[in-house]
Structure 1
Amino acid sequence: MTDLYPIRRALLSVSDKTGLVDFGKALAARGVELLSTGGTAKALRDAGLDVKDVSEITGFPEMMDGRVKTLHPVVHGGLLALRDNDAHVAAMDAHDIGAIDLVVVNLYPFEETLKRGAEYAEMIENIDIGGPAMIRSAAKNHGFVNVVVDVEDYDVVLADMAANDGQTTYALRQRLAQTAYARTAAYDTAVSTWMASQIGDTPRRRTVGGTLAQTLRYGENPHQAAAFYTDGSERPGVATAAQHQGKELSYNNINDTDAAFELVSEFDPANGPAVAIIKHANPCGVATGDTLAQAYSRAFDCDRTSAFGGIIALNQPLDGPTAEEISAIFTEVVIAPGADDAARAVFAKKKNLRLLTTDGLADAKAAGQTIRQVSGGYLVQDKDNGFITRDDLKVVTKRQPTEQELSDLMFAWTVAKHVKSNAIIYVKDGATVGVGAGQMSRVDSTRIAARKAQDMAEAMGLPAPLTQGSVVASDAFFPFADGLITAAEAGATALIQPGGSMRDDEVIAAADEAGLAMVFTGMRHFRH
């Protein structure tokens, strides 16, 4: 094996023909012999290039609807033979096997076929066999052979050839091989994940695939390297959004923006504007309003201090008046399903503010999975897309909640799903007025949320905190009555919680004694 090795013969067989003709012409101009199959060969010939069909060198026509065309010793021998091994060279001579120095394959479009919801039989036909086999053969023999699986590497190969008189460097071939193995791994991941979903199985082995979207400046902290990968799905959100201004998103920006957009996507824009403000992956203000600007102002009033440097998500396209309100303080990122010209003009004056727009809201009810790494493995679970309606609520107290309390209880429960456990959320008139997140004790979350509401009341010159007359949501049951009593002392009049504690009777009795209304959902929303 040597550092520089020439490309004299190339095999091209691609489903995505972007850039194919230009690449083929550039190779031919360097005297590279072109081998090809099916539609790829036709596209090259139509461009006036001299192409030899693989069937000419194998002596076998494509058969079985194209399932068998490159699975042949003449092809794989030409890829796998070690050029500096006398025995391998002798075998090539004996069996009339010509060396293949470059393989260009980008596989049947399995992932794209999956996205459009094809039936089972069509999915099976879009599982590539010969392509991955050639890719792996070429990648294994990268000491001599180049393998290209991505269109963006066409120019990279040509540049290396131009710099080295038609040869490529070992460093490039190594990098191409790594990319190739990652591609086949991601492809097999898509196939195996799809098949597991089809048969309703928990697979014995599970893999995760992704495509590099961005090398990040650093991770959660400057000493941590990081990168952002996308999974190929088209779910609206931070991974598919268009960025209109501002510097690149950081690791923490991406994480917090995702949390903000997933939360605001819970609120149907047909029911009116909604705004969520996120800080360190937790909501510090969520509200509805008659206008986006009003919804933002009400969300901001929940915790003005924490909102500084936060992430803002909207469930409707951003407009000029709302942009003006947001611009009054420092904000890291704003994400919305669109933005009008007036809003963009306002934000253009804030060069460091990132504006992201999406094609719509994420489907909060869609099925999916979440993955979390632990030492020695990772946890996989279904996405928390659990929903309740008013009909699911069970009133367990003597006092029934009022219509306004019911509306606020449902709002608070929606927000609770997106607050780190232990989560306590105070809500009044369709806006959070106190959020307690991530405490080891539920009563501490209740106290912290009430204290923050008290601080905001003092800062805004209000005679009393907005928790007076509010409702409270708890993401899990109250294990003791103390949390409920603390909420009542803060002025709450109604509560929503899953129920299911051994001390439910004690908690219900405390609610009745305090004159509170309380409903059980029968559903928990832990978020760790």
Structure 2
Amino acid sequence: MKPLALLSVSDKAGLLELARELSTVYNYQLISSGGTAKALKAAELDVTKVSDYTGAPEILGGRVKTLHPRIHGGILARLELPEHQQDLEDNAIQPIRIVVVNLYPFEATIAKSDVTLADAIENIDIGGPTLIRASAKNYQHVAVLSSPSQYADFLAELQAHDGATTLEFRQKLAIAAFQHTQAYDLAIANYLNQQTISAPIPSTVADAEPSEPLTSNLSSSYTLLCNNPKPLRYGENPHQPATWYQVGATPKGWSAAQLLQGKELSYNNLLDLESARRIIAEFADDLPCAVIVKHNNPCGVAIAPTIAEAYQKAFDADSTSAFGGIVALNRAIDEETAKLLTKTFLECVVAPACVPSVAAILGKKQNLRVLVLSDLKHGSAETVKTIAGGMLVQRADDEAVNPEKWQIVTQKQPTPAQLKELAFTWKVCRHVKSNAITITKNFTTLGIGAGQMNRVGSTKIAIEQAGENTQGACLASDGFFPFDDTVRTAAAAGIVAIAQPGGSLRDADSIKAADELGLVMVFTGVRHFLH
């Protein structure tokens, strides 16, 4: 009697080659269902339909095909146990030694713009995961293939062991199978969670703590399923091993970026690239904008009529810190910009596109990593940080900047130009490590104070960096002013307008100081701490 191999796949890549080897070289009897059986028969391979083998028809429009004792008894039987052998004999069940299954394309289905909930539900595979899990559980006797990418190694294993597989190999297949079904179930759970909970998380007002916990759209359990590991040379420092994982089955974000030239990305490159992407996302639909990041903080951000001008302005804002920096652009890299990019040492440049003719220009800097990421605007909906024994998950700080909701708290009113500048500096400030102060003029950063333990310290750093250019500039602070000292320090340097969240018990002191000194001050009502 021939050994049995069950094949039931949605992705038929490599199917015929595998089936032909199993049938003609290793003398397996093929059992299959639905479209897989049709494909095998069309290739003139000897195949038994599942319904013929079980004596039970496919029902419910194909929802029930392989859920039958003759199938699962053949997969789950422990052949070393006499009682299992007896059950197989009593029920005319033959052991199934190979199971080849991959699942309905659920993630591809929900990625379609016009997908309905009904479509998504019909693409939730039931029989497939059941077959995979049963086979993986009994890997002592069953080899389970859950991806076409495994076929070549599997055939090589059969060839190396006279048509058999080692226990070690089957265990690796089982681990991959359970990881596959875990990812599949997680994609379904996340999708259904989004369908049932649609209310956005309300934002806090300034620094005031809410009396009740905010309503969260995070599920009661949170799982990060990471795959496609890419070992990195090291982590933040050479003594720290590191790996880059892709979240989810479909490449997106930096996993979907195209590296046009340069070395592989490092751990620190990726951290800085994400910081740069978050800032450029603020201006994705704006005029040409350039961002330069160093150690997760912006050192230059600028808007200009052309992308080359924007980059030059951002570079000039802090040319010392820009050395070895990360650049993000919201326009395609053109020849003029490419020439500017090669004038100094940079680690990485990312843009939504790259004009083909610039390859020769950028190629002169062979170590410069040049990436194309068509969607720089959209990132993760949540941020995740690990702590001892757990992790912290929050909605990403993607609160839209809306100056129409701001409160003008001073006697002096902002001009339309000042209001636009305040919006620009506020957008940059939210991406600077707290305590954060940004000073800008003509849509260009002049001074940035980042990560200081007190706000006045950050203000002094930003003012010193900006120098005489602070005359007529605007300032933003990611948190409120507990005292009026920041206002007075800013005014003495020539700052004319300030954006801050408000919400301090001493707001009146800061407003009074601003009025005395003739400053404009607005309260945004939103705090943007970044730790």
TM-score normalised to structure 1 length: 0.92
Cα distance change, pair 448–236 in 1 and its aligned pair in 2 (3 A): farther
Please say which of residues 66-75 and 201-210 is displaced more in the overlay: 201-210
Which of 502, 514, 530 is the equivalent residue of 1:511?
A: 514
Cα distance change, pair 164–379 in 1 and its aligned pair in 2 (3 A): same
What whole-Å deviation, never above 9, does each CA across 1:342-374 have from its counterpart, x for those lacking one? 32211112221111112243248xx82222222
Deviation, 1:521, is 1.1
Please say which of residues 493-502 and 87-96 is displaced more in the overlay: 87-96
Give the AA of the match of 2:5.
A
Deviation, 1:417, is 2.0
- The aligned runs of 1:107-126 (5 Å cut-off) are 107-117=103-113, 118-126=115-123
Which of 21, 39, 42 is the equivalent residue of 1:43?
A: 39
Give the AA of the match of 1:508.
I
SS in 2 for 1:349: coil
Structure 2 residue 432 is matched with structure 1 residue 429: no
Give the AA of the match of 1:29.
T
Give the AA of the match of 2:230.
Q
- Aligned counterpart, 1:225: 241
- Aligned counterpart, 1:460: none
Q: Distance in 1 between matches of 2:415 and 2:10?
A: 61
Structure 2 residue 284 is matched with structure 1 residue 259: no
- Aligned counterpart, 2:76: 80
Please say which of residues 85-94 and 336-345 is displaced more in the overlay: 85-94
- Aligned counterpart, 1:10: 5
SS in 1 for 2:392: strand
Structure 2 residue 502 is matched with structure 1 residue 502: no
Which of 454, 479, 483 is the equivalent residue of 1:441?
A: 454
What whole-Å deviation, never above 9, does each CA across 1:128-149 have from its counterpart, x for those lacking one? 1111111111111112211122
Deviation, 1:202, is 4.6
Deviation, 1:181, is 0.9
Q: Distance in 1 between matches of 2:218 and 2:259?
A: 37
Identity percentage of aligned residues? 48
Give the AA of the match of 1:54.
V
- Aligned counterpart, 1:127: 124
Q: Distance in 1 between matches of 2:252 and 2:439?
A: 29
Deviation, 1:205, is 2.2
- Aligned counterpart, 1:396: 409
Q: Distance in 2 between matches of 1:136 and 1:167?
A: 21
Deviation, 1:83, is 2.3
What whole-Å deviation, never above 9, does each CA across 1:221-264 have from its counterpart, x for those lacking one? 23333222223487974232111111211122112112212211
For structure 1, which runs of at least 5 residues remain unmatched after alignment? Answer: 1-6, 455-463
Structure 2 residue 466 is matched with structure 1 residue 453: yes
State the 4+ residue runs in structure 1 displaced beyond 6 angstroms: 233-236
- Aligned counterpart, 2:192: 195
What whole-Å deviation, never above 9, does each CA across 1:159-194 have from its counterpart, x for those lacking one? 111222212222221211111111111111111112
Decide whether the 8 Å contact of 1:245 with 1:351 is kept in 2.
yes
SS in 2 for 1:219: coil
Q: Distance in 1 between matches of 2:49 and 2:271?
A: 49
Decide whether the 8 Å contact of 1:236 with 1:361 is kept in 2.
no
Cα distance change, pair 225–32 in 1 and its aligned pair in 2 (3 A): farther
Decide whether the 8 Å contact of 1:237 with 1:261 is kept in 2.
no
- Aligned counterpart, 2:87: 91
Deviation, 1:517, is 0.6
Decide whether the 8 Å contact of 2:449 with 2:461 is kept in 1.
yes
What whole-Å deviation, never above 9, does each CA across 1:426-459 have from its counterpart, x for those lacking one? 11100111111222212221122223334xxxxx
What whole-Å deviation, never above 9, does each CA across 1:301-357 have from its counterpart, x for those lacking one? 222222111111000000111111111111111110110123221111222111111
- Aligned counterpart, 1:458: none
Structure 2 residue 422 is matched with structure 1 residue 409: yes
Structure 2 residue 192 is matched with structure 1 residue 176: no
- Aligned counterpart, 1:336: 351
Deviation, 1:33, is 2.1
Give the AA of the match of 2:384.
I
Would you say how many aligned residue pairs link Structure 1 and Structure 2? Answer: 509
Cα distance change, pair 276–515 in 1 and its aligned pair in 2 (3 A): same
Structure 2 residue 295 is matched with structure 1 residue 274: no
Decide whether the 8 Å contact of 1:439 with 1:445 is kept in 2.
yes
Decide whether the 8 Å contact of 2:478 with 2:527 is kept in 1.
yes
Decide whether the 8 Å contact of 2:7 with 2:101 is kept in 1.
yes
Give the AA of the match of 1:92.
L
- Aligned counterpart, 2:527: 524
Which of 225, 228, 248 is the equivalent residue of 2:264?
A: 248
TM-score normalised to structure 2 length: 0.91
